[in-house]
Amino acid sequence: MSYLFRSPEELAREAIKHALKALKKRHLLEEGAHAPALSRPIISQGSEWKEKAVNLEVELQQCYKAQSRLSEQLVVEVAECRALKACLQEKETTIAELEKELTQTRNECSQLKTDLEGKIGALELANALYEDMIEQLRACGLEKLAREQVDGIVRRSEQGAEFVAELTVPSVCKHRINAHEGGCASILFEYNSGKLISGGQNRSIKMWDTSTGSLIQNLSGCLGSVLDLSITHDNRFIIAASSSNNLFVWDVNLGRVQHTLTGHKDKVCAVDVSKVSSRHVVSAAYDRTIKVWDLQKGYCTYTIVFHSNCNALCFSTDGLTVCSDHVDGNLRLWDIRTAKLLSEVAAHSLPITSISLSRNGNVVLTSGRDNLHNLFDIRSLEVCGTFRATGNRMTSNWSRSCISPDDNYTAAGSTDGSVYIWSISKADIVSTLKEHTAPVLCCTWSGLGKPLASADNNGIVVPGHDPAGWLYICTFKSMICVLKLMSCYLVLVLFLEFGLISIGQ
């Protein structure tokens, strides 16, 4: 309200005073803002500069250290670079040498190729000459001989073919021998020899002289009944298939077991040795397996498992194929190098009991429980002959038949005690041998052409090499039957000796 009663002059003077105060205050504020910088002492500014200088010196030392590390690293990398450069030069030198060797190898390959072409040309010329020779042989009527040479079947010096006697069908018993108590299931002849080997239910292997009927050697050590036999081509080892699930290998010279081949899980019913190498053996057992053995090392090399049991088997003449007869009636061929099935054919309507390979290796004879005996061409598995007889009945699943060494006859035993002999060319029975009093189990022909041997549940029959006589070997049971037909003196001798009875030829 006092402002309302003042004069204008007083208000003007009051305003001027306020303006002067404001200017003075502003001047003081501006002086106060610049006063600290002007009032700091020079000493404090010097300490700050010194501190900054120290920090810069520390940073400079760190830079020197970093430079030193980088210099050392550079030296190492330069050294590595030089080493790599030297290695690269060495590699380049090696590459140059390899290129030189490659060039030489290419030149050698070119030379070998040229030589090979020359040899192929020479071989083609030789083949042409060979074919001309075959044609000439055929023109001269020697086709059969040429085929045998081409197939590699002729092994006359090995199997004694040049000593094969002219074969005649036997008709008269030559000898009767007590061989094995309980019966004999397998017989075979030595190669190039008339010695007969028999295996019996009494777990023994015996060797006989068929010319006299006398015992030569008795081999023991088998742990079961002997079901099949085979022998190596040098006549050194005899292999027996046994009901004890094993195979036993005898050294004939030492007269003792050399190997026992184990691995089958059931009775071993068939065995054969390669016709090329005495090293390879094949066996079959009722565990549905066929095993190939290395006789030198004494262990199995291949095992063939099949759904049908094998009753009989044999090697081909080249030693590369195995022929097997089975319970399902089929004949099968196997490659022993790969254990693969090559081919098969339905051979019989009932189980096959036997297989026998011809001397030339082109034909196999099979016998079955259907009482048929079939000849098969091993190359095509085609039937080339069938033999039967009214009274002929196969005795068991392991009844063995055989082919004569001249490939002209077949022989098979029967449950009626007879041995039937057929002519292959005529397909007719040429002889019936009725000397057994029990079912005949097996028969075999000597590789020399004579004699023929057969065995039954009670013994063995070995017919002679001519119509005048043959050899008959019997067990105790069949011997009792013979006693009834002889004088009391001979009965007493047989009962005491259980030995040989000689019948005039």
Sign of the CA dihedral with 415 first, then 418, 421, and 426 last: negative
- Could you give the CA distance from residue 472 to residue 158 in angstroms, rounded to a whole number? 29
Which of 158-162, 177-181, 249-253 shows the lowest per-residue confidence on average (mean pLDDT)?
Answer: 158-162
pLDDT band, residue 205 (cuts 50/70/90) = very high
Collapse the DSSP code of 151 into the 3-class scheme (helix H, G, I; strand E, B; otherwise coil) and give the result: helix
Q: CA–CA separation, 414 vs 391, rounded Å?
A: 8
Distance CA 304, CA 290 (A): 5
Tokens of 332: 């099968």
pLDDT tens profile 83-116: 999 999 999 999 999 999 999 999 999 999 999 9
Selection from 240, 174, 180 nearest residue 209 by Cα:
174
The reported pLDDT for the residue numbered 500 is 42
pLDDT of the residue at 160: 43
The confidence band for 219, taking pLDDT boundaries of 50, 70 and 90, is very high
- Name 208's bridge partners: 196, 215
Instruction: Determine the residue type at 199.
Output: G
Q: What is the pLDDT of residue 39?
A: 52
Q: Is the pTM of this model over 0.75?
A: no
In the three-class reduction of DSSP (H, G, I as helix; E, B as strand; rest coil), residue 335 is classed as strand
Question: What tokens appear for 161 in the block?
Answer: 């073919």
Q: String of b and e for 168-197 (b: at least 16 CB within 10 Å)?
A: ebbbbbbbbbbbbeebbbbbbbbbbbbbbb
Determine contact, residues 436/417, Cβ cutoff 8 Å: yes
| Confidence band, pLDDT 50/70/90 cuts, at residue 148 | very low
Which pLDDT does position 369 carry in this prediction? Answer: 94
List CB contacts of 182: < 8 A, sequence separation 6 or more: 200, 201, 202, 475
85-92 contacts at long range (C-beta below 8 A, 24 or more positions apart): none
The pair phi, psi for residue 27, each rounded to 5°, is: -65, -40
What CATH number labels 161-502? 2.130.10.10
**Which residue ranges make up each domain of the chain?**
71-151, 161-502
Radius of gyration of the chain (CA): 53
Per mean pLDDT, which range of 34-48, 69-83, 489-503 is the poorest?
Answer: 489-503
pLDDT, mean of residues 322-336: 94
- More confident: 189 or 153: 189
